[in-house]
């Protein structure tokens, strides 16, 4: 049997139900892993081992069991928790104590999850990095903005992490840390109690070590009875291989791994075709820039007015400057353009179950002053479609590289089942 901290959420629930372990034992195993690795990885913004163990012991005494019974979960530090501080990645809010849990935290507790602690985020879930290092190589970024959640799951500190995504903030750290990362169809998962960056784009993001865990956690957050997936033996998917307009930003190794993946899926029985995005999609980075910046700058009006000097130069000169100089007319035109593209995307995806596309340009880059190229997620985030990165590849330096699958809006379970099939075909 694997070490308890290495079990997936689904395996933990089963082992506890079968009497093979306890909630407290699982939590202790995860805490031991954190104690061993945290000085190197620095994934946690707040961690109280006794608080985590108190939750686990209460679950061991409980007469009822939810679908996440005894599963340790990491929560990104822009998501409110009533028993832990939430600082939003900035010294401006150090020690801030919310009065209530965010909706996703409350749903996780209701399902029997153990809220382990708060994981590091970049400043206001934007560009300026926090302290977290990549667990595979501490000289490299873990990605962002859900840096700590990606690193904690990737380093077997916890089986599940909650992040968010406005551009690439879940898919990129999941890919860099060798995890399964999922960004849902925009609007499906409630963001009450989550710091808003840009509401027209924001979603929760889930990070796990298996597709089945993502599906389970999504059902929990939707308030649905968990439903098993069809399994990898389901019908071979129709796959569109979409290099995107950013293909030249991929390193040569990543290009070859994705091309080889497309060929292998075809040999395994999938219908694989090259897909080219409409030419005007080249304008999406600008549309995303103005939508996200306009909304972000107005969401942070209080911090701008009262604590300007405590905001990083990176954020002041970047997204805030963009937002403050963006007119409402430019913002409104960018939103209208994005919606026109979404309609084109709906039509394009009618012929495919999923698109296969890069998750990142390659392995996590060396350096801790940035979080990596977000280009390969930006399009899909703006299109409001569900996306998932799978840890299918290993780069030239031995670090994980993800393959991203994208489905049409509201086809999230179809995405999961195609991801199962792809994973099995690539194994």
Residue 232 has pLDDT above 70, yes or no: no
Only one residue has tokens 């990083």, namely 312
3-class DSSP assignment, residue 303: helix
Q: How far is it, in rounded angstroms, from Cα 21 to Cα 418?
A: 32
User: Residue 268: is its pLDDT beyond 90?
Assistant: yes
Percentage above 70 pLDDT, the chain = 100
Q: What is 136-157 written as a DSSP string?
A: TBTTB---SSSHHHHHHHHTTS
The pTM for the full model equals: 0.98
Helix (H) or strand (E) holding 417: helix 412-426
Peptide bond into 123 cis (omega under 30): no
Q: What is the pLDDT of residues 2-20, one digit of tens each?
A: 999 999 999 999 999 999 9
Q: Tokens 């900035």 map to which residue?
A: 90
Residue 111, CB-side half-sphere exposure with 13 Å CA sphere: 27
320 has a pLDDT exceeding 70: yes
Q: Give me the mean pLDDT over the 159-164 stretch.
A: 98
> What domains, with CATH codes, occur in the chain?
4-222 (3.90.1300.10)
* Mean per-residue pLDDT over the chain, rounded: 97
Q: Which residues are annotated as catalytic?
A: 76, 145, 169
Q: Whose structure tokens read 């034992």?
A: 25
Say if residue 123's pLDDT is above 80.
yes
């Amino acid at each position: 049997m694997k070490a308890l901290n290495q079990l997936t959420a689904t395996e933990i629930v089963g082992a506890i139900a079968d009497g093979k372990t306890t909630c407290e034992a699982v939590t202790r195993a995860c805490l031991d892993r954190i104690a061993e690795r945290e000085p190197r990885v620095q994934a946690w913004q707040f961690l109280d081992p006794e608080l985590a163990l108190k939750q686990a012991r209460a679950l061991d005494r409980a007469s009822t069991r939810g679908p996440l019974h005894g599963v340790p979960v990491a929560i990104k530090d822009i998501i409110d928790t009533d028993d832990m501080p939430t600082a939003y990645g900035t010294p401006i809010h150090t020690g801030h104590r919310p009065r209530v849990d965010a909706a996703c935290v409350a749903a996780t507790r209701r399902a029997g999850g153990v809220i382990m602690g708060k994981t590091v985020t970049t400043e206001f879930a934007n560009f300026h990095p926090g302290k977290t290092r990549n667990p595979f190589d501490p000289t490299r970024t873990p990605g962002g903005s859900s840096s700590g959640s990606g690193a904690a799951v990737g380093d077997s500190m916890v089986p599940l992490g909650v992040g968010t995504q406005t551009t690439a903030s879940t898919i990129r750290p999941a890919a860099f840390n060798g995890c399964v990362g999922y960004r849902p169809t925009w609007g499906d998962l409630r963001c009450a109690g989550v710091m808003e960056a840009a509401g027209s784009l924001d979603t929760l993001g889930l990070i796990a070590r298996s597709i089945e865990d993502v599906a389970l956690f999504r059902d929990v957050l939707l308030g649905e009875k968990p439903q098993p997936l069809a399994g990898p033996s389901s019908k071979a998917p129709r796959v569109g291989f979409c290099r995107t307009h950013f293909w030249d930003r991929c390193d040569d190794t990543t290009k070859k791994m994705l091309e080889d993946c497309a060929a292998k899926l075809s040999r395994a029985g999938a219908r694989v075709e090259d897909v080219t995005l409409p030419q005007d999609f080249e304008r999406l980075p600008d549309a995303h820039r103005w939508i996200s910046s306009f909304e972000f700058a107005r969401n942070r009006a209080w911090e701008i007015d009262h604590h300007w000097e405590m905001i990083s130069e990176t954020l002041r000169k970047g997204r805030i400057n963009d937002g403050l100089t963006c007119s409402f007319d430019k913002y409104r035109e960018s939103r209208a353009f994005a919606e026109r593209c979404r309609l084109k995307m709906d039509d394009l995806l009618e012929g495919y179950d999923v698109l296969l596309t890069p998750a990142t340009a390659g392995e996590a880059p060396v350096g801790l002053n940035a979080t990596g190229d977000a280009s390969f997620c930006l399009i899909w985030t703006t299109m409001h479609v569900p996306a998932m990165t799978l840890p299918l590849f290993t780069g030239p330096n031995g670090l994980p590289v993800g393959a991203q699958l994208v489905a049409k809006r509201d086809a999230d379970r179809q995405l999961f089942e195609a991801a199962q099939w792809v994973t099995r075909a690539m194994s």
